[in-house]
Amino acid sequence: MEFSELQEILKQFDSSTVRVLDLSKKDFHLFISKDKVEMPRPSKNELTETQPTPEIQQIVVEKPVISEENEPAAPPAQPQKGKTIDSPLVGVTYLSPAPGEPAFKSAGDKVKKGDVLCIVEAMKLMNEITSDTDGVIEAVLVENEEVVEYGQPLFQIV
């Protein structure tokens, strides 16, 4: 089917009262609807028969060589003790309930499961972040009004 033929079909369909058009030819299938409809999906047999298998190419990525002379020795990774409370969403962190008020919790404070630790604002919604364990806050890992990412650690609890 030529592009001009397709344009003419679409123009005629648009100006008509027909709501759904399902047109099939030997090597062509067109389905259009003015209604919100689930598009018909070809069966697995149709997919395997009509679509060629794409060629698979191997891609090799080489790591750059870093000289030990130029690279300072990294300190050994220390395992974190306790548990981190991570942000469940992207947003702005507020450590206190309102500007000028004391923080919900600070380093050294005891917390119980369910205690509010901070608020993460996302799309003008204030989401309370609560502790899911009992313990003591070892570290507050974010600043007030800091933008946090999904999964970013907010508090370290031991």
Domain ranges of the chain: 3-49, 83-157
Question: What is the full DSSP assignment across 6-69?
Answer: HHHHHHHHHHSS--EEEEEETTEEEEEESS--PPP---HHHHHHHSPPPPP-----PPPP--TT
Q: Percentage of residues in the chain with pLDDT exceeding 70? A: 71
Instruction: Give the pLDDT band of residue 107 (cuts 50, 70, 90).
Output: very high
Residue pair 32/7 in contact by the 8 Å Cβ criterion: no
Mean pLDDT on 13-31: 80
Q: Which residues contact 107 (CB under 8 A, 6 or more apart)?
A: 137, 138, 139, 140
With 80 as the cut, is the pLDDT of residue 58 above it? no
Q: What are phi and psi of 157, to 5 degrees?
A: -120, 130
Q: What global pTM score does this model have?
A: 0.50
Q: What is the mean pLDDT of the chain?
A: 80
Q: Which of 101, 100, 105 is nearest to 142 (CA)?
A: 105
Residue pair 131/111 in contact by the 8 Å Cβ criterion: yes
| pLDDT 10s digits, 66-101 | 555 555 555 555 556 789 999 999 999 999 999 999
Owner of token pair 């364990």: 133
CATH class (in words) of the domain with range 83-157: mainly beta
